[in-house]
Chains A and B, each alone.
Chain A
Amino acid sequence: MSQAVAVAPGRPPFWRDVRILRILGQVLFVVAVFLIGQQIYLNLQFGVKQQAIDLSWGFLNSQAGFDIKEGLDYSRADSVARAFTVAGFNTIRVAGVGIVLASLFGLVIGVARLSKNWLVRKIAQAYVDLFRNTPVLVVILFVYFGFVLQLPRIDEGGSVFGVAFVSQRGTAIPWPRTDAGVGAWGVCLLAALVVAWLVRRWRTRINETTGKPHYRFLWSGGVFLAIAVGSYFVIGSPMKMDVPKVDGLRFVGGVEMTGEFFALLMGLVLYTSSFIGEIIRGSILAVEKGQKEAGEALGLTPFQQLRFVVLPQAMRIAIPPINSQYLNLTKNSSLGLAVAFPEMVSVGTTIINQEGRVTQVVVLWMLFYLTLSLSISTVMNAINRVVAYRGVRR
């Protein structure tokens, strides 16, 4: 204690000086990366010259010349850029619907895995074991070839009570189309929403002051429905049901879901939901047992314990891994290629086969999927911040 340990005076020689070595190491690394990058660039340039590869982006404005039978308005006379837009929109559509459905399925499976009911538990486990261990490509193909293509052909019927149609080509169901007076009805709906919200507040206050059951969902829902239905008939049916009809080999009217969309969607949902189910199960198990017991002690029903005590806490644990499942689902939607669903990769390969332009298409793909992944992550991180523990931190 009396004497300080002798520290070497001055600085060590430069080949042993950590500060200099650190900078030197990084400079070496940067130089190496630069040299490799330069070599790759030279190779690229050589290849481009030798094979006369066009690296310009002008082809985006040229005529596409192939059909896309799904999504936004498009014809083969439209530009390649338009084709990419339609394809990108299709990817987003299937990924969006897929994320919602996979979350619902996954929640049910995850809760069922922990059910007290032996049969339900075993069925959920079989579901998870089946889909988690099968390639998603096989699931998509099996839904397509084993289910969709086993449906009747479009000209062979497959009508459900004459208002909906199920066929290989797709499924069509009636869909409301707007008619005169829809604007007035929209205003009424908004008003109904406000009134329902007021009713909900009123019931909550009654519950808080008198302790009577609030039934606020029934009350506000009932009020909303009453106003909505009443005004619908007062205004005089502003929406008309558009019933689909088969016209040759396609549907007219209603809303249609193609068989390819269905196969890709169900393949993605079945596969991803088995993973989400396991995440939910793990998160529920990770919520401390005392929480559920406290809920029980308060006299909550098993459903209420799950809904108000366990699940909100489990969600905090589940959101980061679920986020990566959403990203996987979005990226796996590129397997639409296998069932000719016109999403980004499948349209991109068509363009590669027709026009070449490999480099540009690959770059576009990467930009598109990176943007999409980043957007999903941003949204999920925002949700994570909302549900994360607030206030006291450990």
Chain B
Amino acid sequence: MDRPRAPEDITPLAVQEGPAVEVAPHKEPETPLEWVRENLFSSWFSGILTLISTAFLLYFGYAFLHWIFVSAEWRVVKVNLRSWMLGRFPPEGVGRVVTSMFLVVALSGLTWGGLGKRIRWTIGRRIMAAGFAVGGLLLLYYVLSGVGIWLLIGGLTGTFAAAVWLGKRLGFRLRGVITFGWVLIYPVVVAILVAFGGPSPARWGGFLLNVMVGSAGIVLSFPIGVVLALGRRSSFPAIRTFCVGFIELLRGVPLITLLFAGLYFLPLLLPPSLDLHLIIRITIMFTIFSGVYVAEIIRGGLQGVHQGQYEAARALGLPTWRMTALVILPQALRNTIPALVSHFISVWKDTSLVGLVGSLDEGLSQARHSAAGLEFIGTLPEVLFGAGFIFWVVAISLGRWSQRVEKRVGVGER
């Protein structure tokens, strides 16, 4: 097939009878009418689908917008938003939360500026960004009040912008700093919240608790996952069997049964002198549960590393642990970024289960409490919508942001 054929090799095809079929080259639609015809009414089936979808959109869109703007009582959200966010966290400790927020926002800005891809500002994107900005500001204006909040938002935005600018200036040189920062951010934030007479973790509540449990499930699960994944691929049968058993046992059961085990069962297994608070026990179970899933993701990444990489490392004379740490793991981890991010998103969503177990008031259960009072009776749909929206915004931003980073780091390209 590869051999170029001489012209005389080609026997002419029988010329077809009848008029030649003219195929028009595909033309990009120019006028709005053409666009509509191409994208909405290209065939009778497509036309019917368009009509059904329009009817569907009109009906549900109207019902939804009517509920949002007319019949829903948003006062319950406005009044209780602070307790949703912090629960029974003492007011004198709020400064610690704010400090942590500034840290995280600065680091995010650095990452965004340093690793992000430059956005092409098409008209559509400009309109969308403007819409988001105006909508967000209106929402904030409606929900929040008081100078303190505005100062905080202004400060955070300013910090973010400054960090993005700095990140852009320094660019890829920041890579090490950013990685190091994200590794250290969890212990640093815990230290800021607790150290030097801060409120004990038992006082964490609302979405603060979700964030803290969730970040433990993200950050601390990582070493567990790496160890379990390496153990599962170990050539030592004893270690392999143990890791396989551990992973499969915990992957087969629902998170909530593990949280119940953390509530009732874990104290029995730990030394009696070690009286851990419920929040810590739940965090432990949550982290282990997440670690098992991280282990499976990393195992997938390890399997994707080419055999030649192992052989090359061996040829260089690297001992096993240096081969793993310097050659195999970096490549394996890079390939797992998309899967890890979608796992981290589900970890964030799973923090909503913490409130079902014991008496912990994470964001969702805190929100449900606020609809229990006589004043706000019957506002549960509004409350669930509000709390769900907070979960949703964080999850979807994480997803979108990771797509950006993936493109920049070039996952799946090399």
Contact = CB atoms under 8 A, between A and B. Distances in A.
A163 interface: no
A145 interface: yes
B27 to A, nearest CB: 16
Interface residues of A, number: 57
Contacts of A132: 395
Contacts of A145: 380-381, 384
Contact of B238 (A26, A39, A370): A26
B89 interface: no
B138 interface: no
Given A25-B236, A145-B384, A365-B253, A47 B268 contact: yes
B255 A331 contact: yes
A35 interface: no
A379 B397 CA distance: 37
Contact of A369 (B53, B257, B349): B257
Contacts of A331: 253-255
Given A29-B236, A43-B271, A116-B46, A358 B264 contact: yes
A119 interface: yes
Nearest to B48: A117
Interface in A195-223: none
Interface in B351-406: 352-353, 356, 364, 368, 380-381, 384-385, 387-388, 391-392, 395-396, 399
Nearest to A359: B265
Nearest to A51: B268
A120 interface: yes
Contact of B257 (A26, A123, A142, A366): A366
A229 interface: no
Nearest to B261: A362
Nearest to B239: A29
Interface residues on B, range: 35 or more
Interface in B234-256: 235-239, 242, 249, 251-256
B284 to A, nearest CB: 14
A128 to B, nearest CB: 11
Contacts of A133: 345, 349, 391-392, 395-396, 399
A337 B46 CA distance: 42
Contacts of A369: 252-254, 257
B42 interface: yes
B49 interface: yes
Contacts of A382: none
Nearest to B50: A119
A362 B258 CA distance: 8
B256 to A, nearest CB: 5
Interface string A351-376: 01000001100100110011001100
Interface in A102-122: 115-120
B410 to A, nearest CB: 20
A43 B253 contact: no
Nearest to B383: A145
From DSSP, what is the main secondary structure of chain A's interface residues? helix
B387 A366 contact: no
A136 B395 CA distance: 13
Residue picked from A29, A53, A119, A373, most chain B C-beta under 10 Å: A119
A348 B356 CA distance: 14
Contacts of A53: 268
A140 to B, nearest CB: 10
Contacts of B40: 117-119
Contacts of A141: 368, 384
A30 B249 CA distance: 19
A321 B355 CA distance: 29
A153 to B, nearest CB: 14
Contacts of B46: 115-117
B139 to A, nearest CB: 18
Interface string B29-66: 00000000001101000100110011011000000000
A351 to B, nearest CB: 12
A231 to B, nearest CB: 37
Contacts of B56: 123
Interface in B51-89: 53-54, 56-57
A119 B254 contact: no
Nearest to A25: B236
A117 B381 CA distance: 33
B260 interface: yes
Given A138-B387, A366-B249, A120 B50 contact: yes
B270 interface: yes
B272 interface: yes
A26 B237 contact: yes
A48 B268 contact: yes
B265 A134 contact: no
A221 B71 CA distance: 50
B381 A43 contact: no
Contact of B39 (A29, A116, A332): A116
B171 interface: no
Nearest to A117: B46
B6 interface: no
Contacts of B242: 29, 33
Given A135-B391, A136-B349, A373-B252, A345 B257 contact: yes
A115 B47 CA distance: 12
Nearest to A145: B380
A334 interface: yes
A22 interface: yes
B388 A134 contact: yes
A262 to B, nearest CB: 16
Interface in A48-82: 48, 50, 53
B268 A26 contact: no
The 8 closest A-B pairs by CB, nearest first: A118-B39, A133-B395, A331-B254, A135-B349, A358-B264, A146-B381, A138-B388, A334-B254
21 contacts: A29-B238, A47-B267, A47-B268, A119-B49, A120-B49, A123-B53, A123-B56, A132-B395, A133-B349, A133-B396, A134-B388, A134-B391, A135-B350, A142-B381, A142-B388, A327-B252, A331-B253, A359-B268, A365-B253, A365-B254, A366-B253
